[in-house]
Amino acid sequence: MTYELYYWDGLQGRGEFVRLALEEAGADYVDVARGERGTPSMMDYIHGKHGYEMPFAPPFLKDGELIVSHVANILNYLGPKLGLVPKDEKSRIFAHGLQLTITDFITEVHDTHHPISTGDYYEDQKQEARARSKAFLKHRVPKFIGYFERIIAANPAKSGHAVGDGLTYVDLSLFQLAEGLAYAFPRAMKNFDKDYPGVARLRDAVAKRKNIEAYLKSKRRLAFNESGIFRHYPDLDQEPA
C-beta of 53: minimal distance to a second copy in Å? 6
Residue from 21, 118, 113 nearest 75 by CA: 21
**Which CB, 142 or 216, lies closer to a second copy?**
142
C-beta of 221: minimal distance to a second copy in Å? 26
Report yes or no: 173 and 99 within 8 Å, Cβ to Cβ.
yes
CA 213 from centroid of its chain's CA atoms: 17
**Which CB, 92 or 221, lies closer to a second copy?**
92
- Distance (Å, whole) CA 164 – CA 166: 6
**Which CB, 73 or 168, lies closer to a second copy?**
73
By CB under 8 A, tell whether 165 contacts a second copy: no
By CB under 8 A, tell whether 205 contacts a second copy: no
CA 181 from centroid of its chain's CA atoms: 11
Q: Which stretch binds a second copy (CB under 8 A): 28-36, 91-99, 184-192, 195-203?
A: 91-99
**Which CB, 98 or 212, lies closer to a second copy?**
98
Residue among 81, 150, 201, 220 that touches a second copy (CB under 8 A): 150
Report yes or no: 148 and 172 within 8 Å, Cβ to Cβ.
no
Site string for a second copy, 114-143 (x = CB under 8 A): -xxxxxx----x--x--xx--x---xx---
- Distance (Å, whole) CA 233 – CA 238: 11
By CB under 8 A, tell whether 82 contacts a second copy: no
If binding means CB under 8 A, how many residues of this protein chain bind a second copy? 51
Q: 145-151, long-range: CB within 8 Å, 24+ apart, which pairs? A: 145/177, 145/181, 145/192, 145/195, 145/196, 145/199, 146/196, 147/101, 148/98, 148/174, 148/196, 148/198, 148/199, 149/196, 149/197, 149/198, 149/199, 151/98
In the complex, which residues of this chain contact a second copy (CB under 8 A)? 48, 51-57, 60, 65-70, 72-73, 76-77, 89-90, 93-94, 96-97, 100-101, 103-104, 107, 111, 115-120, 125, 128, 131-132, 135, 139-140, 144, 147, 150-151, 154-156
